Structure 1
Amino acid sequence: MTPWDWIDISNCIFSVIACVFLTVCYVASLYVWRSRENRDHPTTIKKRFFSVFVMMMLAPLFTYYFLNEQIDREEMYVKMGLREEGFVQALILPLSLTIILFLGPLSMQLFSGAWRIYIEPMYWISCWQDLVWVRNHIMAPLSEEWVFRACMMPLLLQCLKPMSAVFIGPLLFGIAHFHHVFEQIKAGYEMKTALIVSTFQFTYTSMFGAYSSYLFLRSGHFIAPLMAHIFCNHMGFPNFADVTLFPPIERFIIICNYLLGFSLWCYLLNPMTSPDLYDNKIQFAT
């Protein structure tokens, strides 16, 4: 092994350590405030908004410092997915792809009439006045995608193969959600129940993190995973048990749409995320 190989290994180790450190800091920033209130209390939410805002300001410094190659600020922003070329496509196509995946749950909203709430202006006004909604739909996706995708992925991609980074990076994203076990215990859940719920949450957040990382990798845009994240947070994890509440014909259509949505998503995943569609010429976009 040559001295240059040792340098590459060392740089890779530092890149991974930087990502782990960012993960720890992101989670720790949520708990720096001493409070007896739960996570949904307005005071807790406001304090955590400030914490993650600070993390969003600090995270790019880690990216800039631990990038091996000497690049200027503009090049770093491009690697972080902040660029003009292909922006409109990145805004629309990944979101459309994610909507297709949720064809089943959207069918349930259609049959139940829940979709009508979206055309009520007061619904949107009340949402923006609800700090829990703003946290779940705006601040959480924005801060998580910025830290875990825009700031971490360039570091991982400089020493890992693209698809390895797509699946390894999201493990940190999933682990970052494991802190909810403490909040569930604080809310009165038994340890066993809290661990089961948190393990399930770790699993699906890691899976979404891989999807989000793939969108970032292929499109070369920060906005692509951000829009998918906002939509997924809005829809939530599909409640398959609710399908049984619908009449037989509607139930059959819903099940078919679940299968159709997943099949179309699998079929369209590569074509709709082709780097050529987004004018993505970043080196790791393969």
Structure 2
Amino acid sequence: MPLVFPVPPLSTTFAHLLSLSFVFGYVGSIYLSKNSRLSFSGKVIHVANGQARLKEQDERWRDDPDVIKARLVAVGFATLVCCIGVIGVVKCFVGDVEHSTSITLESSLTRLGLTFDDLSIYPYLVTPILFLGPLYVRYLSETLPFQRKYSIKYDFVPTFMSWQGIRNYIFAPITEELVFRACVLSVYQLSGASIISMVFLSPMSFGAAHIHHAWDIFNRYGKTAVAAKRAVIICLFQFAYTTLFGAYCSFLFIRTGSLFPPLVAHSFCNVIGLPQITAEMKRWPRRKYAIIATYLVGIGSFIYTLGPWTYSAESLYWLRLTLERTPNNSGQKPFY
């Protein structure tokens, strides 16, 4: 278990620089190799509003299997470098206090949330409760696992075993949570950042990391003024909801002290997608009030369970908050 320090080992400025280096290292890794970079035709193509143009033969788009495989390698290596960077920071700035390589490694893994101290299932149930409405709609459509219209061959395999599925539901949640939650929050924790700052400000880097998709959208929709407007709107929306979602995952990470609840929540939300209650009520008009009720019950239950179901006495991050509220004999607040 990491030790208690009288003052934060890192300065706030250094924590900001480390956080930015993690973000730029992760996003920038996909542009270092020509195999992971996208390529588009230089032509301006006018397409019907709301539709993407057809892909030309010599172009490289984001969902091409070769591009996905190259990017998985790139971000996988970048994620490993970021994690090693955190271990190095702990070794340089905390190791002198801990006086042991094994303790330093344990401290680093704890700060990265890579521990199995608390195996409670409750933190993993909070997110599905929030999505009770969309899950009920899938129940109505009989597309939940083990229902009549669900098929391993036609639903599970194309979703999770394709290159897009591996990227969206497995690799992206793992690498993004390691970098944008574990690595970013660990350095801010070492700088003495407040819980509020770590929950609500640090996820802005996660939202900003999605802005580079604007170039992809602009090109796929024809490189016109309409395409540019669409790219801006979509990226602003992505920035907003990824920042909000990042705040939720940051809270899960800080509250539980584990990387695994936010990782599972990330993958689950990618699978479910954004709720579309209006379209769902139009599809099942006779179940309109039941759909609204399940959405409301889900939101209410989420608010009720979020606090008690995510608490862990093993969380380094939440323990630090408790210690800060309890001055020691000298009257000085300790830092964990």
TM-score, structure 2 normalization: 0.77
Report the equivalent of 2:165. 133
The 1:73/1:110 distance shift into structure 2, 3 A limit, reads same
The 1:120/1:13 distance shift into structure 2, 3 A limit, reads same
The alignment's C-alpha RMSD in Å is 2.0
1:117 Cα deviation after fit:
7.2
In the TM superposition, what whole-angstrom CA distance separates every residue of 1:125-147 from its partner, at most 9, and x where no partner exists? 33343100110000110000011
Among all aligned residue pairs of Structure 1 and Structure 2, give the percentage whose two residues are the same amino acid: 31
AA at the equivalent of 1:140:
A
Whether the 8 Å contact between 1:111 and 1:250 is mirrored in structure 2 is: no
Q: Secondary structure of the residue that 1:238 maps to in structure 2?
A: coil
Of the candidates 47, 54, 57, which is equivalent to residue 70 of structure 2? 47
Report the equivalent of 1:63. 86
Whether the 8 Å contact between 2:82 and 2:183 is mirrored in structure 1 is: yes
Q: Secondary structure of the residue that 1:114 maps to in structure 2?
A: coil
The 1:281/1:59 distance shift into structure 2, 3 A limit, reads closer
Report the equivalent of 1:4. none
1:64 Cα deviation after fit:
2.6
Count the aligned residue pairs. Answer: 275
Report the equivalent of 1:145. 177
Report the equivalent of 2:142. 113
Whether the 8 Å contact between 2:30 and 2:71 is mirrored in structure 1 is: yes
Report the equivalent of 1:258. 295
Of the candidates 25, 34, 38, which is equivalent to residue 61 of structure 2? 38
Report the equivalent of 2:201. 168
1:188 Cα deviation after fit:
1.7
1:10 Cα deviation after fit:
7.1
AA at the equivalent of 2:315:
N
The 1:43/1:221 distance shift into structure 2, 3 A limit, reads same
Which structure 2 residues correspond to residues 126-275 of structure 1 after superposition, within 5 A?
A: 126-159=158-191, 160-188=193-221, 190-275=227-312
The 1:60/1:9 distance shift into structure 2, 3 A limit, reads closer
- Between the aligned partners of 2:213 and 2:128, the Cα distance in structure 1 is 27
Larger fraction in helix:
1
The 1:117/1:183 distance shift into structure 2, 3 A limit, reads farther
Whether the 8 Å contact between 1:137 and 1:230 is mirrored in structure 2 is: yes
The 1:9/1:220 distance shift into structure 2, 3 A limit, reads closer
AA at the equivalent of 1:284:
R
Whether the 8 Å contact between 2:19 and 2:184 is mirrored in structure 1 is: yes
- Between the aligned partners of 1:41 and 1:117, the Cα distance in structure 2 is 32
Report the equivalent of 1:29. 29
Whether the 8 Å contact between 2:68 and 2:163 is mirrored in structure 1 is: yes
Gaps of 5+ in 2: 1-6, 40-59, 99-103, 323-336
Gaps of 5+ in 1: 1-6
- Between the aligned partners of 1:172 and 1:8, the Cα distance in structure 2 is 22
1:285 Cα deviation after fit:
5.7
1:119 Cα deviation after fit:
5.0
Most deviating of 141-150 and 34-43 = 34-43
Whether the 8 Å contact between 1:217 and 1:285 is mirrored in structure 2 is: no
Most deviating of 122-131 and 46-55 = 122-131
AA at the equivalent of 1:30:
I
- Between the aligned partners of 1:28 and 1:151, the Cα distance in structure 2 is 17
